[in-house]
Structure 1
Amino acid sequence: MAAARFVVSGRVQGVGFRYATRTQALALGVRGHAVNRVDGTVEVLAVGEPGALDALGAWLRRGPDHARVDGVERTELEAPPGVGAGFATG
């Protein structure tokens, strides 16, 4: 298992970004969460197979139709954090 934190900037709040991310993550077998941050970005914590995290990262660079992604910062995490099953939005 691998883990990564993605911070997505652009028009990513109020456009269904977190819920679309959840759908994509579950389809890839990735667990974790997507949350809005105070600065207007969305943080995605993802745990899964390395290829699935790469695929999620590629999707995050596009996002859903109503979003505009300006940038994605990815930070690899050394050990998968204690996240439960599934993918939460908050």
Structure 2
Amino acid sequence: MLRRHYIFYGRVQGVGFRYTVYQLARHLGLTGWVRNQSDGTVEACIQGNLQQINQLIASLKQERFIRVERFEYEELEVLSNENSFEVKY
């Protein structure tokens, strides 16, 4: 189990990115959150096993309207009390 804080760059706002992350995360059993940033990036904290997280990232790269040009992440401490995934506004 691990937790990562991501920043996604590219065409990631106005294309359903947050909803797509939300749907994929819930389908894969991941927890955390996703939200738009004022600079045009999208920020997310994603928690689960490495295989599930990698599957989410790979799926995002294959979406039709979304274009992830690059992303950065840092490892965070796992939260034991988190049990859902949400879109933050």
If the TM-score is normalised by the length of the shorter chain, which range does it land in? 0.7 to 0.9
Unaligned runs of 5+ in 2: none
Q: 1:88 aligned to 83, 86, 89, which one?
A: 86
- Which residue matches 1:32? 32
CA contact (8 A) 1:31 1:83 kept: no
In structure 2, do the counterparts of structure 1 residues 12 and 63 end up closer, same or farther at CA, with 3 Å as the change threshold? Answer: farther
Q: Which whole-Å CA distance do the structure 1 matches of 2:4 and 2:39 have between them?
A: 20
Amino acid aligned to 2:32: G
In structure 2, do the counterparts of structure 1 residues 63 and 44 end up closer, same or farther at CA, with 3 Å as the change threshold? Answer: farther
Q: Which whole-Å CA distance do the structure 1 matches of 2:50 and 2:10 have between them?
A: 25
RMSD: 1.7
In structure 2, do the counterparts of structure 1 residues 75 and 58 end up closer, same or farther at CA, with 3 Å as the change threshold? Answer: farther
TM-score (norm 1): 0.84
1:7 corresponds to 2:21: no
Aligned pair count reads: 88
